[in-house]
Structure 1
Amino acid sequence: MTPPRKNELIVVSGASTGIGAATAHELASMGYHVLAGVRTESEGDAIRADGIEPITLDITVPGHIEALTERIANDPERRALRALINNAGIEVNAPLEVLPLELWREQFEVNLFGHIAVIQKLLPFLRQSRGRIVNISSVGGVAALPIFSAYAGTKFALEAASDALRREVKAQGVQVVVVQPGGVKTEMAAHSGDISLELADKMSSEHQRLYGDLVTSTVASNTAFLKRAGPAAKAGAKIAKVATTARPRTRYTLGMDAAFIIPIARILPDRLMDRVLSASHRPQRNMPAR
């Protein structure tokens, strides 16, 4: 059965694959008109469907954000913006000492500043509709694994910005919700390990000695875990529910690992938490560095 159409728009950034695409399809199945942010024409063709309108949206490009703003303001059916789901993101992991600064900056541009730019432009519409902002953070926004310093840093910052924003706009009728996924089977997660190993190959011999085993064992552990991780469709269904439920909480975990790690990270002393996180990422003595 075709669901009744809802006279509302929802924006989902980073909607070409993975969690974003799954969320867009779930929202469309609920009857919303989804403006799905993609970066290329081919990605748009792939996700285009009944209730899903692809929008070229690289959130680091001001012109793309301006075009999205105009699309909402000039909606032919004058539909309200019900929610903004900030999902776009990239992940490049390497030890803090060796990750080039340009890759640090790129991750912050996409994972933090790009979302802030979109929020600043779309908040007026959300005030009018008394709508909702859903920021997709990560278990890494609460507990940072070794070699995840840059990615986790962007998510810690997004968590803090979300808290401040929630308190700033509450009186305006706008809700701000954070979703903290753990392991989810996505293309980004699948490729993350390969990127880390490629960066490790370029390390100096001294950095190979210091970090090679750590990188290799961390990637191996995460790769093994992702084989048991939940599907993107399940994550998308939960995010769609979070975006549309009448009385949302301020935060939601997504996945068993997030549900376990996040509460204990808030309770355990730092050094004990270090041991918990390092237990499954301990370098093997005889494992050769790449």
Structure 2
Amino acid sequence: MTASDPTRPIALVTGASRGIGRAIAVELGRTHHILVGGRDAEAVDAVVAQLPSAEPYVADLVADLTGGTLPPLPNQLDVLVHSAGVEDGGTIEETDAETWRRVFEVNVFAVAALTRRALPALRAARGLVVSINSGSGFASGPGGGVYAGSKFALRALTDALREEERPNGVRVTSIHPGRVDTDMQRELVAREGHEYDAAYTITPEMVAATVRTAVDLPPSGTIESLSVRPHRRR
């Protein structure tokens, strides 16, 4: 654990050991005490060591939520960023039930369960929930039904949560990135049979900048939904 600054607001970022989640943890780490969420303790500790005020939040969200063994949360939580996610599946014909189940467990069910657990702390802080969704939360195509289905469901969850928690002072933001230069994107492009070209992506830091915009907005306003896409498209 690095030094903890009790004067800083607290942010929990899931999936923070790599990719988009790590970029968000680094960006918010300039001003917040970060609970660095991830499954791999060594990878989480490496991020914690880079931040001025942080601690590990090591958990397998699906397994731990089912078993009720998640690490404790603080009494007040200023920001909860849901960045952990998986991308999998092919055509409807090809995709088995287990793949559907796993994608929805990580991308939707774990988000709902962790949010439910965090609501008392978020209400106490009049905090902010940020869901890292996707452009696939608005549209799908051949081979994208599983992932897009989970992101459509995440958008519905986020929209409902926003209205449910409005009277409690909790704000809710949905961020919809296009293709981002991450390991997940490289695996997706390889599966699609295309040559990878980062010129057609945005960086994780660009997504983190949009999260920063939502976090820094005065509490009298809410960025409800925000899309950030590559300027160049195939």
- Normalising by the smaller structure, the TM-score range is 0.7 to 0.9
| 2:110 equivalent among 96, 114, 128 | 114
Q: Distance in 2 between matches of 1:66 and 1:126?
A: 20
The structure with more helix, counted as a fraction of residues: 1
CA 1:45/1:160 → structure 2, altered by over 3 Å: closer, same or farther?
A: same
Q: What residue in structure 1 maps to residue 59 of structure 2?
A: 57
Q: What residue in structure 1 maps to residue 40 of structure 2?
A: 40
RMSD: 2.2
Q: What residue in structure 1 maps to residue 77 of structure 2?
A: 81
Q: What residue in structure 1 maps to residue 226 of structure 2?
A: 252
Q: Distance in 2 between matches of 1:257 and 1:159?
A: 23
**2:16 partner SS:** coil
**1:90 partner SS:** coil
**2:176 partner SS:** strand
* 2:93 matches 1:97: yes
1:143 partner amino acid: A
Asked whether the 8 Å contact 1:5–1:32 carries over to 2, the reply is no
* 2:162 matches 1:170: no
- Normalised by the size of structure 2, how large is the TM-score? 0.88
CA 1:191/1:165 → structure 2, altered by over 3 Å: closer, same or farther?
A: same
Q: What residue in structure 2 maps to residue 242 of structure 1?
A: 214
Structure 1 segment 63-212 matched on structure 2, within 5 A: 66-68=69-71, 70-73=72-75, 80-194=76-190, 196=191
Q: What residue in structure 2 maps to residue 7 of structure 1?
A: 8
CA 1:173/1:66 → structure 2, altered by over 3 Å: closer, same or farther?
A: farther
Asked whether the 8 Å contact 1:65–1:121 carries over to 2, the reply is no
Q: Distance in 2 between matches of 1:248 and 1:81?
A: 17
Asked whether the 8 Å contact 2:89–2:100 carries over to 1, the reply is no
Q: Distance in 1 between matches of 2:229 and 2:6?
A: 30
Q: Distance in 1 between matches of 2:6 and 2:124?
A: 20
Unaligned 5+ runs, structure 1: 74-79, 197-217, 261-279, 281-290
Q: Identify the range of structure 1 (38-47 vs 236-245) with the bigger mean alpha-carbon deviation.
A: 236-245
1:52 partner amino acid: A
CA 1:47/1:65 → structure 2, altered by over 3 Å: closer, same or farther?
A: farther
Q: Distance in 1 between matches of 2:89 and 2:96?
A: 11
Q: Distance in 2 between matches of 1:256 and 1:190?
A: 15
**2:35 partner SS:** strand
**1:180 partner SS:** strand
Asked whether the 8 Å contact 1:11–1:83 carries over to 2, the reply is yes
**2:74 partner SS:** helix
Percentage identity across aligned positions?
A: 31
Unaligned 5+ runs, structure 2: none
Note the C-alpha offset of 1:22. 0.3
CA 1:104/1:140 → structure 2, altered by over 3 Å: closer, same or farther?
A: same
Asked whether the 8 Å contact 1:138–1:179 carries over to 2, the reply is yes
**Alignment length, in residue pairs?**
225
CA 1:65/1:176 → structure 2, altered by over 3 Å: closer, same or farther?
A: farther
User: Which of structures 1 and 2 has the bigger CA Rg?
Assistant: 1
2:87 partner amino acid: E
